[in-house]
Structure 1
């Protein structure tokens, strides 16, 4: 596990000029709305005034950011532009000529860095799946081959492929891979020594997804943006670029298509950053957030398994009203106690009977994490259990406490219990927002293992506990 070095100074809320009661109200709201938060960090006037992790999540653990990764790729683009290696008007076909298809359309030939950053290339929907299916070995070529529905620069359509291409363009002009470039120019100068990246089979970082950082590193990134790209006495990202990236470039169509409210995803889009009703935010699926509110000198970092809009609503309605209130030392103590006690509830039930159980997995349930017919064996071990899934992997499970194991390289933290003749366990893939609920009917000899939310990179548990994670065909 990486060492933990403070990136930001600390302060009590009252000393920062805000009320702890507003943060308690935020916690109450998130609990009332059944948001499964994994971490929260509030930074006011450059100091951390509140921080908490819901056990088994913890401060030192990097967490998958999903599409919040895009905002970091945007900063890499800005640095490359400042170095004179790239420009907003550079075309994909000129920077990556070997990826140009023979049947390139006129519009495809005109797509520039600006169009990619603002996601205004003109595809009607996210092109990722179709582009990879069309060209399994070359996502850039697949992107350029797909038909366009709108003129470039005129319509925003959320499109993961655009960020993948930006990552490849940065790598081409800098001669460095994206993780190495960001390590040298951003993370190491900030003191972030634990950035981890998921990759495609060639070893290339996704760019649009797959960055793992601690909550404090996310908060520090927000503070970097708030300070116009400056960290201490170093200008790591040009102020002009931060202002461009965090400014509105295009209207947004509703992010959701089910009619539900998503007000903070309808305020416009910058360069791989969303505009908000207050400030702006980087966003990753299932509630990974870096929220920056310049008018209040405020940064909030959240990791979660939940609905991002619910979290943003809670920030505006619960946290912001307390920004100008005078807090008290007693209120700060109450908040500190609350934050120290945050925990996700282990599965209730008993440690007995002291018995083994053998079952065969039924994968017909939606969101199954394992193949149909997988043999599942529950074996008592050290006050808990060892769960054996065929020859695929073994997972250690605690009773009333969280037990960690790394069966294939990535950690799994688990707790379980017997409820009558049924054994239940929650297996947290702890570097991600996701967990698997295992239910074993010892009498019937059957088991199910389903995701709480299915990872966007696929349902196979074995895939997500391997390190490094590689989930797509090779991309040259």
Structure 2
């Protein structure tokens, strides 16, 4: 296996919930501390699994297939890179698709969409009388409290964590999670400037504290606690969740599930906690968790609120939306959108620089298309939609494969401590060998197609700076492609297909010299790192 770790010289900071939106009161979370660019590949099946949810034709459920087709066309013409899409109406799947190389059987990193699952875990614990939302946070961790307990900390409740109204002046997530082993103790040591419950501030570490509370009162990590209560009743399998160094699920981020799991979660909440005739989650909790509890932007002009899905009120780790909807969401466009008025659920995984723009497409194309009664059958439109869904793809790199190419380069001192890079191209495969410290790593890219594989090495992500145990996520699944441009630059693209992210490497050759520029998809061209090498003798 070969991996190239990337340490951007100027580390960008991103919100863990969304990279670009008109929400004024959102602070940032974990910047990436290191990223890798290369990894050894193995073959995976790219066929799409069938949903275990019931399916129906769009017109039968009151939606013109052509409207969904238009939505997909608009997505393809936009700046949003979708990875998957599922739409449910009246409890049935009317459309589902994955943009190759993403596929139904793959999990996808949820980022802050994880928070709504943490809220659900709290709901189960409340229903089992293990805690109440009015319990004081300090009561759960008597051994981790500061010597002096300030009044605001003493007053902090589980409900304040749920509603992102801890009262801290700045989101403490990066400061604590990237520097301290004990996140609970670090959180409790932080000053709280405002009375808890009075001021919204997006705070992913507050959600981690909810996860820590679940583990404290149940004796289980929340992913394990949720298994018999949520995942198994809904037929959700294969989920995993990042943990910190003390074995506590991160809570506010780090859950990976298949797209269908998102759709099922949304349908469960749409059905007020009922699944296949059984009350899985109390209806009272669903109502409590999805109604607005705090205004994220008090005093904002109504015109601004009318155009923003981030100013409709925050619930218990859910967001209110326009059009009387609510949602779970995570950075770069991981969505569960629940639309009670339309009896519909929409699940999306993606990498987008404009999450509001993604929702705007839903409101523009899908919302007005949903009619209260079934529509006449339209076999032609259904066939066009099915064809469109079956052919969704993200194109691999295209260009010349340059035939045979074999060169080795000694790399100048750099932040990555990369000492040598070998490039060998033969029969449409680009083989990279890389010497880093005392190790030599190897991987392959294909020309004109995605070559699937996996690696034990960590890929790019905005939480990489956290003190976590990332080993539970291994092996990481990847696909790679390469091409030579007309300007004789070697381009390599590596997708981490259980995350939103991609790396692009551009190698430029000038006589005996090599310049390798590595870009990260989630910076949208704003940041890269450059390696300089010269032909080895």
Whether TM-score is above 0.5 comes out as yes
Distance between the aligned counterparts of 2:423 and 2:223, measured in 1?
40
Match of 2:399 in 1: 349
Match of 1:326 in 2: 375
Match of 2:332 in 1: 286
More helix by share: 1
1:42 equivalent to 2:59? Answer no
Distance between the aligned counterparts of 2:419 and 2:288, measured in 1?
51
Most deviating of 269-278 and 224-233? 224-233
Distance between the aligned counterparts of 1:225 and 1:360, measured in 2?
57
Contact 1:362 1:448 in 2 (8 A): no
* SS class of match (2:431): strand
The structure with higher relative contact order (CA 8 Å, sep 6+) is 2
1:450 equivalent to 2:519? Answer yes
Distance between the aligned counterparts of 2:150 and 2:193, measured in 1?
12
Superposed CA offset, 1:282-304 (max 9, x none)? 01000101000000011000001
Match of 1:474 in 2: none
Distance between the aligned counterparts of 1:301 and 1:122, measured in 2?
32
Contact 1:376 1:447 in 2 (8 A): no
Q: Which residue, 231, 235, 240 being the options, matches 1:196? A: 240
Contact 2:85 2:347 in 1 (8 A): yes
Distance between the aligned counterparts of 1:203 and 1:57, measured in 2?
30
Question: Displacement of 1:160 after TM fit?
Answer: 0.5
Contact 1:378 1:386 in 2 (8 A): yes
Q: Which residue, 341, 347, 372 being the options, matches 1:301? A: 347
* SS class of match (1:406): strand
Distance between the aligned counterparts of 1:374 and 1:35, measured in 2?
37
Question: Displacement of 1:348 after TM fit?
Answer: 1.7
Distance between the aligned counterparts of 2:53 and 2:440, measured in 1?
41
Match of 1:317 in 2: 364
Distance between the aligned counterparts of 2:413 and 2:203, measured in 1?
32
TM-score computed with the length of structure 2 as normaliser: 0.79
Return 5+ residue gaps in structure 2 as ranges: 1-43, 457-474, 530-537
Question: Displacement of 1:377 after TM fit?
Answer: 2.5
Distance between the aligned counterparts of 1:10 and 1:299, measured in 2?
13
5 Å-filtered alignment, 1:368-387, equals 371=416, 373=418, 375-380=420-425, 383-387=428-432
Match of 1:436 in 2: 503
Return 5+ residue gaps in structure 1 as ranges: 365-369, 461-476
Match of 1:471 in 2: none
Question: Displacement of 1:109 after TM fit?
Answer: 1.1
Distance between the aligned counterparts of 2:200 and 2:418, measured in 1?
44
5 Å-filtered alignment, 1:115-264, equals 115-132=160-177, 136-253=180-297, 263-264=308-309
Question: Displacement of 1:98 after TM fit?
Answer: 1.5
Superposed CA offset, 1:369-416 (max 9, x none)? x82645332223563222233347433211111111212121111111
Most deviating of 2-11 and 347-356? 2-11
Distance between the aligned counterparts of 1:403 and 1:362, measured in 2?
30
Distance between the aligned counterparts of 1:378 and 1:12, measured in 2?
50
* SS class of match (2:443): strand
Contact 2:403 2:426 in 1 (8 A): no
Question: Displacement of 1:145 after TM fit?
Answer: 2.2
* 1:362–1:231 distance in 2 versus 1, CA, 3 Å: farther
* 1:393–1:228 distance in 2 versus 1, CA, 3 Å: farther
1:396 equivalent to 2:444? Answer yes
Distance between the aligned counterparts of 1:65 and 1:175, measured in 2?
25
Match of 2:60 in 1: 15
* SS class of match (2:393): coil
1:410 equivalent to 2:476? Answer yes
Distance between the aligned counterparts of 1:316 and 1:155, measured in 2?
29
* 1:260–1:298 distance in 2 versus 1, CA, 3 Å: closer
Distance between the aligned counterparts of 2:441 and 2:168, measured in 1?
41
* SS class of match (1:377): strand
Distance between the aligned counterparts of 1:204 and 1:360, measured in 2?
43
Distance between the aligned counterparts of 1:317 and 1:388, measured in 2?
48
Match of 1:472 in 2: none
